[in-house]
Each structure stands twice: as structure tokens, then as C-alpha cells.
Amino acid sequence: MRKFLPTSLMLQVAKKWGMTILINLSMLLSYSAFNQAWSNSQMAPQRIISLAPHITEMLFSAGAGDKVVGVVAYSDFPKAALDIDSVGSYQAINLEKIILLNPDLIIAWKSGNRLKDIEKLEQLGFKIIYSEPYKLTDIPKEVRGFGEQLGTQVTANAVADALENKLQSLIQTYQTKPKVSAYYQIWNAPLMTINGEQSISQAMSICGAENIFADLPLLAAEVSIESVIQQNPDAILLGGQKQMQQGWLKAWQKWPTISAVKNQQIYLLKADNFQRPTARLIESIEGLCQKIDQVRVLKSAQ
């Protein structure tokens, strides 16, 4: 249950964060009383702050977009998210702005937000829950969970069911097909890629594309051109921004001994659809699998 802020804590906050906070202490007291009433009545939260772009997107998928009052930088999908007040970035939140927005629920990114920021919010008594989708199957689970928390179960359950059915259908369609090797590029200078635990790599795996750097210890890491040449992938998948991809594509033409280059199996992906663990990622897997199918057909014909 949310408790009233101790006077000593309010003074500490005022001293550290300036007079703006002090001016709003009366608002905080009112908010504490409101939240206590909410706890007793079990009313679903109506004012939510999202501390990661993927959380913002999931909240809209769960039918709770109209409850979101604060987001962090790069929360740009759907377009309606661009009109929501910013509370900083996922690694540097604006505490004063969060207090002014008066949320009754904050959803944090467990491995992305700074621990000290979360601790400050907890000290102020804010209710916090966490998002941490490790696997593709966690995406519909979190959408469904948000719906339960926020009273939007009808929409959330329908979306979650559709995503789960989509994943199962893709697995049944592609898992028995012959495997091909693939390299996914997230940056050019230095050359960077992803390991097998990253959600993009999981999507590749569903399509039957084996990530040539799946065993890297980090989710994203720098690799050498020599290591790519040695692994000799059947396909190269280019992430990154659209304006950069043509330059990256041109750069690969310097290495015609790589199978993907020699056979013109370099694909430019819409990175925005793949870079976050959200419904968009699952919905984009089928298009990725179709590209991998083209690689597979060409390889089998050789």
C-alpha cells in the first residue's frame, strides 16, 4: 500500500532537487491520499508512465494507450505516443516531471533503466512494475499481463492470442525447412552484430536462419570483417537506419568471396520493426522468413 511521504524525506527531496519540488509537496500529499484510496478500492491505474520505448508500444497493444501520461525518448510508435509528455530517457529520467505528472503506476525496464533512478521513485512511494521480455513468447505474455493490470483484458487478450497463434504458425511452417546461415548487421563502423539471445536472432531462428555469431557473450558486439568472411554467411541482413543501408550495401560489394555477396543475398530490413521486443517484431517475422526462403531456394539450386 502506498504510504504518505515522511516529512524528513520531503525535505531531503526538496534540498536535492530544488524549490520546484518544494512547491509541489502539497500535490504529493494529495496524490498519496489518492493512491491510498486506489489501493483500497483496487481500481485499475489510470495514469501510467512508461520508462522504455518497447513498454510504451506494448501498452498501446494492450489497449491502454489512452492511460499513458509519460514516456521516455524514442517512444515513437504508434504515432500517438509522440504526443505524450517526455520524462527523459530510459537511462536518465526527469524526476520532477514524473512527480508533476502524478502517475499511479510506473512501468520500468528491469535491465535498461538505471537502478538509482528506480530507487528514487521507490523512495517517493510510486508503484512500480517491471517489463523484461527475454523471449519472443514473453511479448504476448506481457501484453496480456498489462491488460490484467490495467483493466483492458478484452483488447490485450485478443492481441496476445493473435501473437501467440502467429508465432506457432511460423514455427510449424519454417522449422523443418533446411537451415541457412545469416549475418545480421546493426552497425557499420565498427562492424557490429547480435548474439543468439537477442530477439532479432530469435526471429531469424524461427525462419531457419542460423546466426553465425550466436555464441557471442554480449547481446550486441563488435566483430571483424575477417570473422564474417571466415563464417561465410548465406545471407546478410542489414538493420540500421534506412538512410545508412545503401552505404552499407555498397561496402559489402568489396568482399565478393562471401556467399551472400556473391549470390546477391543481402537484404535491407526495416529496422524499426525488429529492434524492439514488441508486437511489430512478431508481425514482421513472416516477411523475414520469406526472404530467408529465397536464400534457401537459391542455395538448394546450386
User: Would you say the C-alpha torsion 252, 254, 258, 261 has a positive or negative sign?
Assistant: positive
Q: Which CATH code is given to the segment(s) 7-157?
A: 3.40.50.1980
Those residues whose C-beta lies under 8 Å from the C-beta of residue 33, and which sit 6 or more positions away, are: 4
Res. 250 pLDDT band, cuts 50 70 90: very high
- Exposed, middle or buried by CB within 10 Å (0-12, 13-18, 19+), for 82? exposed
pLDDT at 62: 98
pLDDT, average across residues 119-142? 96
- The rounded distance, in Å, linking the Cα atoms of 14 and 19 is 6
CA–CA separation, 131 and 145 (whole Å): 10
- Determine the pLDDT at residue 37: 34
H/E run at residue 233: none
Check whether 176 has a pLDDT greater than 70: yes
Return the CATH number of the domain spanning residue range 178-301: 3.40.50.1980
Tens-digit pLDDT profile for residues 201-218 = 999 999 999 999 999 999
The full set of domain ranges for the chain reads 7-157, 178-301
- Whether the link from the prior residue into 6 is cis, omega within 30° of 0, is no
Q: Which residue has the higher pLDDT, 11 or 296?
A: 296
Q: In this predicted structure, which of 2-11, 100-109, 217-226 has the lowest mean pLDDT?
A: 2-11
- pLDDT-derived band at 43 (thresholds 50, 70, 90) equals confident
Provide the pLDDT confidence category of residue 35 given band limits of 50, 70 and 90.
very low
Q: Number of H helices and number of E strands within the chain?
A: 13, 12
Region at 56 (left for phi over 0; alpha for psi -120 to 50; beta for the rest)? alpha
With a cut of 80, say whether residue 42 has pLDDT above it.
Answer: no
pLDDT tens for 65-87 read 999 999 999 999 999 999 999 99
232 in the Ramachandran plot: left (φ > 0), alpha (ψ -120 to 50) or beta? left
Query: What letter would DSSP give residue 83?
Result: G
